[in-house]
Amino acid sequence: MPIPKVPIDYLHAPTHDVQSKVTPDDAIKLLISGNNRFINNLELKRNHLENVHLTAQQQSPYATILGCIDSRVSPELIFDLGIGDIFDVRVAGNFINDDIIGSIEYACTVAGSKLVLIMGHTNCGAIKGAIDKIKIGKIKNLIEKIEPAVQEAGKQFGERNSKNQLLVDNVSFINVKHSIKNLLDRSKLILDLKNEGKIKVIGGMYHVDTGKVNFFEG
């Protein structure tokens, strides 16, 4: 499978000079290429310790990924990435709050990240918890943030029950859409960078049964 022609050294952590030549579309191609390698078991052989040394004094990641804490969904693995390639922000249900917004703003405005990917996944436990209205400890605070997606999906995809797989996966998809909107509504810094063409903000859905990521516009 051909590697996209982008100004990226796939084996070594990006320097500031390399990052500065990368466009948001290049960063998307980096993720698509890596996911294709992953699902075909063609991962690159990297010298991770060398990249530890290369990034010891500075980091210039290509992209920022907000994903779920799910143990099956490690961005560095499913996109066949190395140390220094991405900022990896994770919280159950991949929702937006002020701390996460601040993390993404830092990644894009200070560290030069060219892409924000908000990624949900199929068969998500946090989504199931929101559907079933689990209210144990602080979990109730988490599922309140997913509830708007549950309400929207419930109008189209049937009974509110975590055994309704069609509902679960569509809530996950809609929740990503809501997170993208919340990020752009609540962060003028990110919205301005997007409108200026300096970054892109996109969504993705990871399929836990195949390893495939489907990307979509926010």
Residue 163 lies in a domain: no
209 within some domain? yes
DSSP-derived pairing of the beta strands 213-217 and 200-206: antiparallel
**Looking at the domain assignment, is residue 213 inside a domain?**
yes
- Per-residue 3-state assignment (H helix, E strand, C coil) for 81-94: CCCCCEEEEECCCC
pLDDT in tens, 38-58: 999 999 999 999 999 999 999
Predicted pLDDT at 6? 66
pLDDT at 5 (0 to 100): 60
Q: In the predicted model, is pLDDT for residue 31 greater than 60?
A: yes
Q: CA 199 to CA 23: how far, in whole Å?
A: 8
In a domain, 7, yes or no: no
Q: Is 196 exposed, middle or buried (0-12, 13-18, 19+ CB in 10 A)?
A: exposed
CATH of the domain at 209: 3.40.1050.10
The model carries a pTM of: 0.95
Task: Give SS3 for 126.
Answer: helix
The boundaries of the domain holding residue 25 are 16-123+188-217
**139 in a domain, yes or no?**
no
pLDDT value of position 144: 94
Looking at the structure of the chain, the number of domains it has is 1
Residue 170, in any domain of the structure: no
Q: Is the pLDDT of residue 85 over 70?
A: yes
Q: Is residue 201 part of a domain?
A: yes
Position 102 in a domain: yes
